[in-house]
């Protein structure tokens, strides 16, 4: 196993405060898992509805620790050559042509299968990094089972075998965050390997605090109304509930319009900032009319 660096975090409280300094308001659970991930050298699997700030957590941890963020965006059909490495065959061909007169194939072979001809993709880059790294594997539920197995192998060993080059072992264990929107069940083996974190929409008080932190010029009273209305809208049966970033956009809009007390009419006129489907907007508008 890889030798561990000095710990990144002193305590759970320090993680919370550090994240707050980079404007990410974490609850005790989120801070606790980040702390353990560092101490145990384990990846964190972050699940929850889209728009709850799963990706933002990894970015904020990188900001807070001054680490480089390396991101692997998953998609259907993602394979080893895009996730791990591939050989730069065009460059290899050019070298072979330039070395046409060379007598020894083995010399050419050793030459073209060297670091210079290797295209590193996010996983290999994270493993071979000398500087501190946060690896974000985004939307891991979108990859096929074979690729999931590859991820598991790398996250278990923190090393990569390249037939032509040998084994590359991590100089340090990166902090790893995998996010999932739960579109399919992940394998038991991958889940066992990770610490699990469910990130849901924030509680009303915390969302209010987020609005106050992120939106210049918003009053305590307006932030409170926003958090309440968003919460009641999320309880409706919607195609896509408003994300935290949409709450922030809505708050900015209301501040720009100089609104201090939200009435049903103003809320309806700005609902398209909060919701992205016409059917959702209609449901929310109906709800607001009943409320007021």
Same domain, 104 and 215: no
**pLDDT over 50 at 79, yes or no:** yes
- DSSP per residue, 161-220: EETTTEEEE-SSPPEEEEEE--SSPPPHHHHHHSEEEE--SPPHHHHHHHHHHHSTT--H
- 173 located within any domain: yes
- The domain boundary residue, chosen from 198, 230, 257: 198
Percent of the chain whose predicted confidence (pLDDT) is above 70:
97
Mean pLDDT value across residues 137-155: 92
pLDDT range class, residue 291, cuts 50, 70, 90? low
Tokens 């278990």 sit on residue:
156
The average pLDDT across 24-44 equals 92
Count of domains observed in the chain: 3
Residue 107 lies in a domain: yes
Q: What are phi and psi of 176, to 5 degrees?
A: -115, 130
Of the pLDDT bands very low, low, confident and very high (cuts 50, 70, 90), residue 1 is very low
Same domain, 148 and 58: yes
- Do 180 and 260 lie in a common domain? no
- Does residue 1 lie within any of the structural domains? no
Share above pLDDT 90 across residues of the chain, in percent, rounded to a whole number: 65
Q: Residues 225-251: pLDDT tens digits?
A: 999 999 999 999 999 999 999 999 999
Residue 185: alpha-carbon gap to chain centroid = 18
Give the domain extent around 115. Answer: 85-120
Q: Name the pLDDT band for 290 (thresholds 50, 70, 90).
A: low
Convert the pLDDT of each residue in 177-221 to its tens digit: 999 988 888 999 999 999 999 998 989 999 999 999 999 999 999
In a domain, 5, yes or no: no
> CA-to-CA distance for 259 and 126, rounded, in angstroms?
47
Answer yes or no: do 140 and 248 share one domain.
no
Looking at the structure, tell me whether residues 103 and 136 fall in a common domain.
no
| 7 falls within a domain | no
Q: Which of 178, 198, 218 is the endpoint of a domain? A: 198
Same domain for 135 and 116? no
Judgement on whether residues 33 and 144 belong to the same structural domain of the protein: yes
Question: According to the model, what pLDDT value does residue 109 have?
Answer: 77
114 shares its domain with 67: no
State the average pLDDT for the chain.
Answer: 90
- For residues 48 and 171, membership in a common domain is answered with yes
**Residue 4 forms part of a structural domain:** no
CATH number, domain of 187, equals 3.40.50.300
168 lies in some domain: yes
Q: Are residues 67 and 102 in the same domain?
A: no
Where is the domain boundary, 93, 120, 147?
A: 120
Q: Do 136 and 52 share a domain, yes or no?
A: yes
Q: Is the pLDDT of residue 155 over 70?
A: yes
Domain contains 161:
yes
What is the chain written as a DSSP string?
-PPP-S-S-S-HHHHHHHHHHTT----HHHHHHHHHHHHHT--EEEE-STTSSHHHHHHHHHHHHTPEEEEEE--TT--HHHHTEEE-HHHHHHHHHHTTT-S-HHHHHHHHTSGGGEEE-HHHHHHH-SS-EEEEEETGGGS-HHHHHHHHHHHHHSEEEETTTEEEE-SSPPEEEEEE--SSPPPHHHHHHSEEEE--SPPHHHHHHHHHHHSTT--HHHHHHHHHHHHHHHTS--SSPPPHHHHHHHHHHHHHTT-SS--HHHHHHHHHHH--SHHHHHHHHHHHHHH-
Are 18 and 156 contained in the same domain? yes
């Amino acid at each position: 196993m890889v030798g561990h660096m000095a710990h990144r975090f002193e305590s759970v409280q320090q993680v919370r405060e550090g994240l707050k300094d980079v404007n990410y308001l974490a609850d005790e659970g989120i801070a606790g898992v980040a702390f353990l991930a560092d101490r145990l050298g384990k990846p964190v699997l972050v699940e929850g509805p889209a728009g709850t700030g799963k990706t933002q957590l990894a970015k904020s941890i990188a900001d807070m620790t001054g680490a480089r963020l390396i991101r692997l965006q998953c998609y259907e059909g993602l394979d080893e050559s895009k996730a791990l490495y591939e050989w730069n065959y065009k460059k290899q061909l050019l070298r072979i042509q330039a070395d046409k007169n060379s007598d020894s194939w083995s010399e050419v072979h050793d030459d073209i299968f060297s670091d210079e001809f290797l295209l590193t993709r996010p996983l290999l880059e994270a493993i071979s990094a000398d500087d501190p790294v946060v690896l974000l594997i985004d939307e891991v539920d979108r990859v096929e089972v074979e690729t999931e197995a590859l991820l598991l192998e790398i996250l278990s060993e923190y090393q990569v075998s390249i037939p032509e080059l040998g084994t590359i072992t991590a100089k340090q264990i990166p902090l790893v965050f995998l996010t999932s929107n739960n579109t399919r069940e992940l394998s038991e083996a991958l889940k066992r390997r990770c610490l699990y974190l469910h990130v849901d929409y924030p509680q009303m008080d915390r969302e209010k605090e987020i609005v106050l932190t992120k939106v210049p010029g918003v009053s305590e009273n307006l932030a409170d109304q926003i958090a309440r209305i968003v919460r009641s809208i999320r309880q409706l049966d919607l195609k896509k509930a408003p994300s935290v970033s949409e709450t922030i956009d809505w708050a900015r809009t209301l501040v720009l319009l100089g609104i201090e007390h939200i009435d049903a009419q103003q809320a309806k006129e700005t609902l398209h900032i909060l919701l992205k489907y016409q059917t959702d907007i209609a449901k929310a508008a109906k709800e607001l009319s009943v409320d007021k």
